[in-house]
Structure 1
Amino acid sequence: MRTVRHLAGEIGPRLATGPAFREAAAYVEERFTAQGYAVRRQSFRVPAGDSWGVPAGAGRSANLVATGPGFDPTAPYVVVGAHLDTVAVAPGAEDNASGVAVLLELARVLDGHPQAVLVAFGGEEPRGPGDLHHFGSKAYVARLGEEGINLRAMVALDRVGVGSIVPLSSVAGTPAALRDRLAAVADEIDVPTVVEHDSASDHESFADAGFLAARVGSTPYAGYHSAQDVPAVVERAQLGRVGRLLTTWIRGALRS
């Protein structure tokens, strides 16, 4: 919970182009580095627009791409990501300090597994209607190049700290094999899940590019995109369920 408390309780709202986001990114980079990961920053542009009712100017944001020692882009690998930014009005405990907390815990328990790439995305939150969102994951996919040949799957951790059932989703009209595999792994370790379709997170950028992709998270809660999205909203037990699920899936996926 220290990640949730620091990001949402101490830093607060983290608009993708603002100074609070940069402070949060420095914190996450430091945590990755302390676990032995190399961190590469990807800078990209975010347009001006509306951040949940608040005008937001154009600017630059960044992804933090963490790889363990010995990462080999010519061998199969998986990506797990969580967006670090929030809408302008929200401290973003559940959305999405919860996902970042699980991402950093994965960095610890995987102990630098070279073929698990961990990404803290910037610019996931919308700047208006339609496709004015997911800027960081779009930039990541656009820059994959030949490395994309060996990307086996991507999971987005987004709003993973509320409730006792873990939502698993794929983008409608795209293959659901990864979502269904996550559900099977969850069943093996007694983590309750519900499967659905959802495109409202960074997995959409990967699915649209033809990669196997799924989202973990999305249980509704009262503080969504509001000043009430504070650390008390997030439940430690739910973070633990999601962490166990992702750890088990990653280890299995990278053995096969």
Structure 2
Amino acid sequence: MSETSEKTALAAMLRQHVDRLAGLIGPRHLGKPSTMAATQTLIENELTQAGYIVTKETYLALAQPVFNLIVELPGTRRPDEILVVGAHYDTVSTTPGADDNASAVAVLIEVAKRLQGKRFQRTVRLIALACEEPPHYHLGEMGSQIHARGCRERNEKVVGMLALEMLGYFRDEPGSQQIPKTIPKLIRWFIPTKANFVAAVGNLSSCRLLWKFRRGFKRSTKLPLLSLALPEKIEEIRRSDNSSFWDQGYPALMITDTSFLRNPHYHQPTDTPDTLDYERMAEVVPGVCGAIVAIAGG
């Protein structure tokens, strides 16, 4: 199969995942437990069919049992050093959540398929995370908070966490990309004004991880990448599962299309599968795989 044919097939698979999550299932939250169960089953089936053994990290949220879905590729030389790659699968009640966050779940599934059978020096842990969105956000019930705290309690050596957060919305019009007012003026000139890139954003303690991610990503895809390490006082960079790992002292990055800074459908009923750019999403997958190779030692 040619490279063009492979990308076309990958774009079609990404569209299928998003259609099933945001179209067939729709809003995925504990107000409708059946939607969370359907989502969990879908993800588990995809990972199992890809050849993985899926484990469930179960806990209570809003007095209901929920779980993170975890698969691992054990490291060959430094198995005690772990790279975590995660994407949350829930939504707020007002949206079918195509970009937020079916797009990132779709990327996670396709990354998992590509990594199956590969060998890395460090352990690679892929997680579909529960309950990132309000009312769980930063109240101790986020799946990433549960997992990050568990990593710290087990004294695990997490060398980095990649939070996949909204990866499907792209535009080429000038002015389609907003820049947070909290970004220092010296940095603002560096941020593109066209929403045609993916951003990798870390806190100041994650600079080394950011550099490795950037090197691996850019070797593997032509999709533009903006990489930034910023102080955590800039609240926009804490709005995903990466912050749960920062709170436990681990380096982490948010990999994102920048969410509400470009996507007008954020948390709206209009965040539907037809608004996404699957061809450019198909460029994200090899980029993330290349970054995992660079960080985990492929």
* Fold similarity call, TM over 0.5: yes
Shift of the 119–71 alpha-carbon distance from structure 1 to 2, 3 Å rule, reads: farther
Q: Could you tell me which residue of structure 1 aligns to residue 95 of structure 2?
A: 90
Q: Could you tell me which residue of structure 2 aligns to residue 52 of structure 1?
A: none
CA offsets 1:203-249 (integer angstroms, 9 cap, x no match):
11111111110010024211110111110122112212221211111
Distance 1:71 1:59 in 2: 38
2:254 aligned counterpart, secondary structure: strand
**Mapped contact 2:217–2:288 kept (Cα < 8 A):** no
2:249 aligned counterpart, secondary structure: coil
Q: Could you tell me which residue of structure 2 aligns to residue 118 of structure 1?
A: 126
1:239 aligned counterpart, secondary structure: helix
Within the alignment, does 1:231 sit opposite 2:273 as a pair?
Answer: yes
Q: Could you tell me which residue of structure 2 aligns to residue 42 of structure 1?
A: 57
**Mapped contact 2:217–2:289 kept (Cα < 8 A):** no
Distance 1:65 1:178 in 2: 22
Structure with higher Rg: it is 2
Which of residues 228, 241, 244 is equivalent to 1:205?
Answer: 244
Distance 2:17 2:79 in 1: 33
Distance 1:32 1:165 in 2: 28
RMSD value over aligned CA atoms? Answer: 2.4
Which deviates more, 11-20 or 184-193? 184-193
Q: Could you tell me which residue of structure 1 aligns to residue 288 of structure 2?
A: 246
How far is the alpha carbon of 1:146 from its aligned partner? 6.9
Q: Could you tell me which residue of structure 2 aligns to residue 75 of structure 1?
A: 80
Distance 1:157 1:104 in 2: 11
Distance 2:283 2:41 in 1: 27
1:232 aligned counterpart, secondary structure: helix
Distance 1:212 1:134 in 2: 21
2:168 aligned counterpart, secondary structure: coil
Distance 2:76 2:206 in 1: 27
**Mapped contact 1:33–1:39 kept (Cα < 8 A):** yes
Which of residues 87, 101, 104 is equivalent to 2:106?
Answer: 101
**Mapped contact 1:89–1:225 kept (Cα < 8 A):** yes
Task: Return the TM-score normalized by structure 2.
Answer: 0.74
Identity of aligned residues (%): 29
Task: For 2:93, give the aligned amino acid.
Answer: A
Within the alignment, does 1:181 sit opposite 2:224 as a pair?
Answer: no
Within the alignment, does 1:222 sit opposite 2:264 as a pair?
Answer: yes
How far is the alpha carbon of 1:65 from its aligned partner? 0.8
Distance 2:208 2:100 in 1: 26
Q: Could you tell me which residue of structure 2 aligns to residue 54 of structure 1?
A: none
2:146 aligned counterpart, secondary structure: helix
What stretches of structure 1 of length at least 5 have no aligned partner?
A: 48-57
CA offsets 1:36-72 (integer angstroms, 9 cap, x no match):
111111122224xxxxxxxxxx533211011247889
1:76 aligned counterpart, secondary structure: strand
TM alignment of 1:25-40, pairs within 5 A: 25-40=40-55
Distance 1:168 1:40 in 2: 28
Within the alignment, does 1:8 sit opposite 2:22 as a pair?
Answer: yes
TM alignment of 1:46-61, pairs within 5 A: 46-47=61-62, 58-61=63-66
**Mapped contact 1:186–1:192 kept (Cα < 8 A):** no
Task: Return the TM-score normalized by structure 1.
Answer: 0.86
1:175 aligned counterpart, secondary structure: helix
How far is the alpha carbon of 1:116 from its aligned partner? 1.7
Shift of the 148–33 alpha-carbon distance from structure 1 to 2, 3 Å rule, reads: farther
How far is the alpha carbon of 1:141 from its aligned partner? 1.4
